[in-house]
């Protein structure tokens, strides 16, 4: 058992009872009684079907749920007919439910899962969200096999999503991560990942578990740490990810601040690496890519545009502390545009994001206020994007986002000049 393992006595005893395990599937949870049973059953089925000769354990790291989540994990069972009969030894899939301690957040759950995986000597580990409605046993194979058998250390998810869904990832997180570190990982904060045992041990070396990483930055942290650590990367095609999607204009500001703040914090931590990277390269994708249906996302373009125009009137003084005059002029022109001609240019948007990153680093104001003030500008970009792709199919949307990504790469020299 690792010297730094800090599990409860009951959990430590459970780890000792399980003994050496090849594969650990981690499921962080908090009040997910409605969906977690399905996730556990899918994980069990995936281990039994695709890794029948490997010892597998499912670790549910729960953050103090009060809705019966842990009981659902204990009660989750596969129907008898779903168990495959095989000719070689079939090890039972063990279940371990343990509370995680520390700051309330997904990162604390990851730490517990990583500690258990290391203590069990796991060769591969995967973590999946507990609120998934689209997870299937095949997800377990796709996230685990590249780490277990193909020599990869980090397996990022590759989903198909509705063109209006995931706009924070599409407009900021993916293109910034790609431009900075030179790796085209399409879903760097996807939430469902696979890891090799050696990468799990590497993560546990870092003293980040009492920081904001443990609250809401764990997804981008595991991704950038794997990239910058020189680990072998790949992606796994998982089809559609079905979750409770929201209108991009609703309940957004806190989420945007958390996600972008975590991204900017990683930029600071790895500046010595990304300032020497130019261009980007593909990251291999495992799995057969096929077209799937996605759930529609309701949007209100007028509300987004109106929010931006009000903010332009109210927040220009704050924005002028962050953005150079040419950028302010571009936003002024956008605010005055008619809705049918509302078009946010890629170069203008990219410079806004890069300028906010520089302001975050220089602490030109309270970082929370800074990040919240980005929200209405972001909504303006989303409104413009939706107007551009309303009639576009999936291929055309990806081509549109590819052009945006190339602009981020081209404008990286602007970021570096301001950063230094």
Q: Which domains does the chain have, with CATH numbers?
A: 9-286 (3.90.550.10), 301-419 (no CATH)
SS3 sequence of the chain: CCCCCCCCHHHHHHHHHHCCCCEEEEEEECCCHHHHHHHHHHHHHHHHHHCCCCCEEEEEEECCCCCCHHHHHHHCCCCHHHCCCCCCCCCCEEEEEEECCCCCCHHHHHHHHHHHHHHCCCCEEEECCCCCCCCCHHHHHHHHHHHHHCCCCEEEEEEECCCCCCHHHHHHHHHHHHHHHCEECCCCCCCCEEEEHHHHHHHCCCCCCCCHHHHHHHHHHHHHHHHHCCCCEEEEEEEECCCCCCCCCCCCHHHHHHHHHHHHHHHHHCHHHHCCCCCCEECCEECCCCCCCCCCCCCCHHHHHHHHHHHHHHHHHHHCCCCCHHHHHHHHHHHHCCHHHCCCCHHHHHHHHHHHHHHHHHCCCCHHHHHHHHHHHHHHHHHHHHHHHCCCCHHHHHHHHHHHHHHHHHCHHHHHHHHC
pLDDT of residue 97: 61
Question: For 28-38, what is each residue's pLDDT tens digit?
Answer: 888 888 888 99
The whole-number pLDDT of residue 90 equals 37
What are the distances in angstroms from CA 216 to CA 123, 262, 353?
A: 27, 8, 20
How is residue 416 written in tokens? 């570096």
pLDDT at 17: 79
Token pair 């689209």 in the structure block, residue: 134
Report pLDDT for 20.
Answer: 87
Decide: 387 and 343 in contact? Cβ < 8 Å: yes
* pLDDT given for residue 379 in this prediction: 96
Structure token pair of residue 418:
């301001």
In this prediction, residue 151 carries a pLDDT of 97
| The model scores a pTM over 0.95 | no
- The residue behind tokens 């125009």 is 309
User: pLDDT below 50 — which residues of the chain?
Assistant: 1-3, 79-91, 102-103, 244-248, 250
Strand partners, 236: 157, 286
* Cα(239)–Cα(290) distance, integer angstroms: 7
In degrees and rounded to multiples of 5, residue 247 shows phi and psi of -60, 125
- pLDDT computed for residue 99 by the predictor: 60
State how far the Cα of 364 lies from the Cα of 328, in Å rounded to an integer: 17
């Amino acid at each position: 058992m690792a010297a730094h393992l800090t599990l409860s006595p009951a959990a430590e005893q459970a780890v000792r009872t399980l003994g050496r395990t090849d594969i650990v599937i981690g499921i962080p949870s908090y009040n997910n009684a409605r969906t977690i049973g399905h996730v556990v059953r899918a994980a069990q089925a995936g281990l039994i079907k695709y890794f029948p000769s490997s010892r597998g354990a499912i670790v549910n790291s729960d953050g103090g749920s009060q809705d019966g989540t842990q009981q659902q994990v204990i009660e989750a069972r596969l129907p008898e007919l779903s168990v495959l009969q095989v000719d070689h030894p079939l090890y039972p899939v063990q279940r371990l439910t343990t509370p995680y301690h520390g700051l309330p957040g997904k990162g604390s759950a990851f730490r517990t899962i990583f500690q258990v995986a290391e203590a069990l000597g796991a060769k591969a580990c995967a973590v999946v969200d507990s609120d998934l409605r689209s997870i299937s046993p095949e997800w377990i194979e796709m996230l685990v096999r590249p780490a277990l058998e193909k020599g990869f250390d980090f397996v990022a998810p590759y989903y198909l999503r509705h063109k209006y869904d995931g706009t924070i990832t599409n407009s900021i997180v993916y293109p910034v991560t790609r431009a900075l570190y030179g790796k085209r990982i399409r879903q760097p904060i996807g939430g469902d990942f696979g890891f090799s045992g050696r990468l799990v041990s590497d993560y546990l070396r870092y003293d980040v578990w009492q920081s904001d990483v443990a609250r809401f930055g764990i997804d981008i942290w595991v991704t950038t740490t794997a990239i910058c650590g020189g680990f072998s990367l790949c992606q796994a095609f998982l089809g559609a990810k079905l979750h409770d999607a929201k209108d991009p204009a609703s309940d957004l500001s806190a989420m945007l601040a958390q996600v972008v703040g975590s991204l900017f914090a990683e930029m600071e931590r790895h500046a010595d690496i990304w300032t020497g990277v130019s261009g980007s390269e593909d990251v291999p994708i495992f799995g057969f890519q096929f077209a799937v249906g996605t759930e529609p996302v309701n949007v209100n373009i007028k509300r987004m545009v109106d929010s931006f125009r009000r903010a332009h009137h109210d927040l220009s003084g704050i924005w002028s502390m962050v953005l150079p005059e040419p950028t302010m002029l571009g936003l002024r022109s956008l605010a005055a545009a008619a809705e049918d001609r509302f078009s946010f240019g890629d170069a203008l948007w990219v410079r806004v994001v890069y300028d906010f990153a520089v302001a975050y680093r220089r602490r030109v104001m309270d970082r929370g206020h800074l990040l919240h003030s980005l929200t209405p500008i972001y909504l303006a970009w989303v409104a413009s994007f939706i107007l551009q792709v309303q009639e576009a199919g999936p291929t055309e949307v990806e081509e549109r986002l590819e052009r945006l990504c190339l602009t981020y790469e081209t404008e990286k020299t602007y970021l570096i000049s301001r950063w230094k």
